[in-house]
Structure 1
Amino acid sequence: MQYVKKEYKRFNKTSYRSFILGGDIGGTNTNLGIFGVKNKSPTLLLSFHFKSKELKGLHEAINMVLKYMQGYRISITKASIGAAGVLSTKKELITVTNLKWHVNKKSLIKKTKLKKIILLNDFEAIGYGVNTLSKKDVKIVKKAKKIPKAPIVVIGAGTGFGKTTLFYNDQHKSYIPMPSEGGHIDFAPKNKDELGLANFIKKYRRIKQSISYQQVLSGSGLENIYVYLRKRFNKTKYTKEIDKSANKAMLISKYRKVDRTCKAVFEIFKKFYGTAAKDYAVDALSYGGIYISGGIAAKNNDIFDKTFIKNFYDSPQMKEVVLKTPVYVILDYNIGLLGAGFAGARFL
């Protein structure tokens, strides 16, 4: 089992009052972290990064990490795990998107030495992570006076598209995210070309119903837009490579500054991002800010430019709302893992 280990801080068994395991699980990557806890405040000490599809189940990665911690003579029995997928009403199962295996609380307790587990939707975990952010962890896209304790919305494109709304809780003195599958809200074309794209995606992906934001704001969304535009431009050495690749989104992102087709894809992509951010800002009156997460945003944060802002402002009846809403890009790759650790330290 291959993995990458990262160390953030030296520690020993007596450095913290307790230790917990945090998890950030997606269709592509499985990230596990060891947190030291003092006064319900978590510190990320170690992280372990696996490829999800190389695992037979989450228990494999967890058992490896727990065994590794035995080298420090530390036994960990508590975990907080966020995963990309639908969380059951009893919060005992997450059906992970794009994976053959799922996150099952009872199964993990049976197959590992864990005794107490919190399960979170991936964007719920990212929402908790917002509580841990410092100025260096974000890029300001649009300035506005942030209203203390006002609602916050987190959105993000990655393997899929996610969204959560955060409300401040005075008892816990932190923001609490609401579980959501808001990334599956219907995508509404605004002109003839966008309608053409929507109809193309339905045919290309064999979708009989309406399409959602996830079909245009995600890795597969980049591919959908690319394939739709492909015949409008001449072939290049870049498009030939993309056409043969199983991971088109990664290459479209890589060549977006040198290839005309890829540039055109991102022009459309950032328009949709601006529109989505506006829609969710108006929905939640998020005067605490719109926070944009996900690997696509972090790796391509310069796409949040005048085009994005123009589409964010495109709300004639609610212009005052969007004008007063700050927008940030989250730069910390570990935000979901940090959020899982934060929730575990507070509630386990």
Structure 2
Amino acid sequence: MSNVLPQRLSQRRVVPTTRSPYQCARSRRIVLVQARSKASEAVVLVGDIGGTNARLSAWRADLASPSASELFAKTYPTADYDAFDHVVEEFLSEPSVRSSPPQAAALAIAGAVSNNRCNMTNVRWLVDGDALTAKHGFRVALLNDFEAVGYGIPALPEEDLEVLNDVPVQPQAPKVVMGPGTGLGAAQLMWDCGLGAYRVWPGEGAHATFAPRGWKQQALAQFVTDKYGHCEIEQVACGSGLELIYEFLASDEPANRPHLLAAAGAPGAKGGKKRAAEISAAALTGSDPLAEEAVDLLFAIVGAEAGAMALRSLAKGGVYIAGGITPKLLPRVRQGSLLEGFLMRSGRPPFHKLLTHTPLFVITNEKVGQIGAREVAKRLLAGSFGGS
């Protein structure tokens, strides 16, 4: 395993260059758009819409910087409402919101967004941004949840990033964001010359077939295929994937590792199937070596997919690992399995070299999606967001 990774970078380094291949003649246009704005700040509505809860908040945001202050926030259990429209109406009727009504809204949704609409899968809601715009009089944009994370990246302060591969960030170069949580989200950021800012392109690449490395990952892929008929990347690179990996490791012949498997609750031993939170906690405390192995295997897979995404877009602007799992397991991440998976040392030398010169970060701010949604709402006011 590689040496312990650096925890912080005192100052994020940027490639010094007088003429980047990614720079555009119109790259300062966004400054002109901001200069034409009539107000220096505005109130925006931000949403995080999931299958269990809809979280709405109103913010007073500075239009020229990421600075913002929260005015009001409330969480609404989705089971209590027949339609998302009812949630919005209730939120807008709150005294704190009525006194400072929003001028634009951006809603991050854990689902596929098409034409500013989303038919949610885990709750029977149709969320229609254009219908909300017509009803309430302010523009509403719907975003895939990782699309919102992508828009939050350029607004993150230095202290919200844990550096894994300490190499310079190239200005205006493509960026990649991905990470494990309930599923495995992913998006790409490409510089838009007309806007003078990054535009985010969400995707569903996590549902591609898992490409295992080494005999143990190959055995894992066969284990999942035998169980479900197919093994895609997300199945072994998210919260439930961690549980699958642990179950796979515990399925080993008990005579091979009797003490580990007995402690893990293997078939015939006391205990049962461990949940992701239990596996993570045991890995952090060191109380279960099998949990440590499962977490390291998960991060090796996440790192490999991050490296693959970096190569697809030549992400010299950086690869950013987000999601709910990685920040909570930073002590294990610092042991190096994620970085080793990313660097692809056993791959073809030219591409390994490309990855060694690609920045890699973990986003430690779990509200990055909310930050991104705020940035999109501000772009709506400036007329510089057209949706994905």
Corresponding residue SS for 1:87: coil
Q: Does 1:255 align with 2:282?
A: yes
Q: Which residue of 1 aligns with 2:239?
A: 219
Q: Does 1:157 align with 2:180?
A: yes
Q: Does 1:73 align with 2:99?
A: yes
Contact 2:146 2:185 in 1 (8 A): yes
Q: CA offsets, 1:138-190, max 9 Å, x none?
A: 11111001111111100111111011111123443322111211222221122
Q: Indicate which of 224, 227, 233 corresponds to 1:201.
A: 224
Greater CA deviation, 74-83 or 287-296? 74-83
Q: Which residue of 1 aligns with 2:75?
A: 50
Q: Which residue of 1 aligns with 2:339?
A: 309
Q: Which residue of 1 aligns with 2:362?
A: 329
Identity across matched positions, percent: 29
Which amino acid letter does the alignment assign opposite residue 325 of structure 1? T
Q: Which residue of 1 aligns with 2:10?
A: none
Q: Which residue of 2 aligns with 1:131?
A: 154
Which amino acid letter does the alignment assign opposite residue 232 of structure 2? S
- With over 3 angstroms needed to count, the CA separation of the structure-2 counterparts of 1:29 and 1:318, relative to structure 1, is farther
Q: Which residue of 1 aligns with 2:212?
A: 189
Cα distance, 1:79 vs structure 2:
1.3
Contact 2:168 2:359 in 1 (8 A): yes
Q: Indicate which of 26, 44, 48 corresponds to 2:50.
A: 26
Which amino acid letter does the alignment assign opposite residue 308 of structure 1? L
Contact 1:41 1:345 in 2 (8 A): no
Corresponding residue SS for 1:220: helix
Cα distance, 1:307 vs structure 2:
2.3
Greater CA deviation, 94-103 or 313-322? 94-103
Which amino acid letter does the alignment assign opposite residue 81 of structure 1? L
- With over 3 angstroms needed to count, the CA separation of the structure-2 counterparts of 1:163 and 1:312, relative to structure 1, is same
Contact 1:29 1:49 in 2 (8 A): no
Contact 1:137 1:331 in 2 (8 A): yes
Corresponding residue SS for 2:272: helix
- With over 3 angstroms needed to count, the CA separation of the structure-2 counterparts of 1:190 and 1:125, relative to structure 1, is same
Cα distance, 1:125 vs structure 2:
0.7
Q: Does 1:345 align with 2:378?
A: yes
Greater CA deviation, 306-315 or 65-74? 65-74
Q: CA offsets, 1:173-215, max 9 Å, x none?
A: 32211121122222112233322222222343x3x3x422111
How far apart in 1 are the matches of 2:271 and 2:379? 45
Structure 2: runs of 5+ lacking an equivalent? 1-38, 253-259, 382-388
Corresponding residue SS for 1:178: strand
Q: Indicate which of 142, 145, 163 corresponds to 2:168.
A: 145
Larger Rg: 2
Cα distance, 1:251 vs structure 2:
1.7
| RMSD (CA atoms) | 2.8
TM-score (norm 1): 0.83
Structure 1: runs of 5+ lacking an equivalent? 1-14
Q: Which residue of 2 aligns with 1:82?
A: 108
- With over 3 angstroms needed to count, the CA separation of the structure-2 counterparts of 1:268 and 1:17, relative to structure 1, is closer
Cα distance, 1:235 vs structure 2:
3.7
Q: CA offsets, 1:18-68, max 9 Å, x none?
A: 311111223455332212234365614146363755443434543343233
Cα distance, 1:76 vs structure 2:
2.7
Q: How does 1:268-279 map to 2 (within 5 A)?
A: 268-279=297-308
- With over 3 angstroms needed to count, the CA separation of the structure-2 counterparts of 1:329 and 1:44, relative to structure 1, is farther
- With over 3 angstroms needed to count, the CA separation of the structure-2 counterparts of 1:54 and 1:251, relative to structure 1, is farther
- With over 3 angstroms needed to count, the CA separation of the structure-2 counterparts of 1:279 and 1:237, relative to structure 1, is closer
Which amino acid letter does the alignment assign opposite residue 327 of structure 2? A
Count of residues in Structure 1 that have an aligned counterpart in Structure 2: 326
**Structure showing the higher strand proportion among its residues:** 1
How far apart in 2 are the matches of 1:263 and 1:216? 15
TM-score (norm 2): 0.75
Contact 2:51 2:122 in 1 (8 A): yes
